[in-house]
């Protein structure tokens, strides 16, 4: 691969690189780099996917204050990996719903663990938002 990952326009950063408001943002960033490094997509393809997602959000009325950047990042990542066959939209929706269910059943302050029962059909909801891991699982 000849392309090098670089900061994209609008990406929150400081002098040392990207900055993240919550752990899931860093995780989404790391997953994107890992998939790029494995050749799932080129950096140009990634940049176009993210730009399309941000443009669509702005067209739909996103105020673009910077607090939604990684929501768009995650939505673009989900769309790209589904398009590449790495996962399916249904599988991504199942995990999104599972994480939400796991977060709801977890006492405040405890690590959120995703269990097989969280992925059951009774816990699936129709949700068009991108998946947002709400906390790290404990390992």
Question: If DSSP states are collapsed to H, E and C, what string results for 52-63?
Answer: HHHHHHHHCCCC
Which structure tokens are listed for 56? 């669509």
- Whether residue 101 is found in the same domain as residue 70: no
Q: Give a yes or no: residue 64 inside a domain.
A: yes
Shared domain check, 71 and 29: yes
* Of 35, 61, 83, the domain-final residue: 83
- Does some domain include residue 139? yes
Mean pLDDT, rounded, for 96-113 = 91
If asked whether residues 102 and 137 sit together in one domain, one would say yes
- Domain end among 41, 57, 83: 83
97 & 77 share domain:
no
Please give the average per-residue pLDDT across 81-103, as a whole number. 91
Residue 57 has pLDDT above 50, yes or no: yes
Residue 96: inside a domain, yes or no?
Answer: yes
**pLDDT tens across 15-51, in order?**
777 788 888 898 999 999 999 999 999 999 999 999 9
Q: Is the pLDDT score of 126 beyond 60?
A: no
Number of separate domains in the chain: 2
- With beta carbons less than 8 A apart as the criterion, state whether 53 and 72 touch: yes
Tell me how far CA of residue 127 lies from CA of 95, 96, 110, in angstroms. 11, 8, 25
Are 106 and 79 members of one domain?
no
Q: CA 88, CA 94: separation in Å to the nearest integer?
A: 10
Q: Are residues 79 and 99 in the same domain?
A: no
* Distance between first and last Cα of the chain: 33
The residue with greater pLDDT, 134 or 33, is: 33
Q: How much of the chain exceeds pLDDT 70, in percent?
A: 79
Q: Which residues span the domain enclosing 61?
A: 21-83
| 58 and 78 belong to one structural domain | yes
């Amino acid at each position: 691969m000849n392309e090098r990952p670089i900061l994209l326009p609008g990406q929150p950063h400081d002098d040392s690189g990207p900055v993240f408001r919550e752990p899931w943002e860093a995780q989404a960033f790391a997953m994107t780099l890992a998939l790029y490094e494995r050749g799932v997509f080129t950096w140009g393809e990634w940049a176009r996917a993210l730009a399309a997602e941000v443009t669509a959000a702005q067209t739909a009325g996103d105020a673009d204050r910077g607090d939604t950047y990684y929501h768009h990042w995650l939505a673009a990542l989900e769309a790209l990996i589904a398009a590449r066959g790495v996962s399916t939209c249904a599988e991504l929706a199942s995990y999104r719903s599972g994480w939400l269910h796991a977060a709801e059943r977890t006492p405040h302050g405890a690590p959120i663990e995703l269990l097989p029962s969280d992925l059951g059909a009774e816990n699936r909801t129709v949700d068009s938002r991108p998946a947002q891991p709400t906390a790290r699982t404990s390992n």
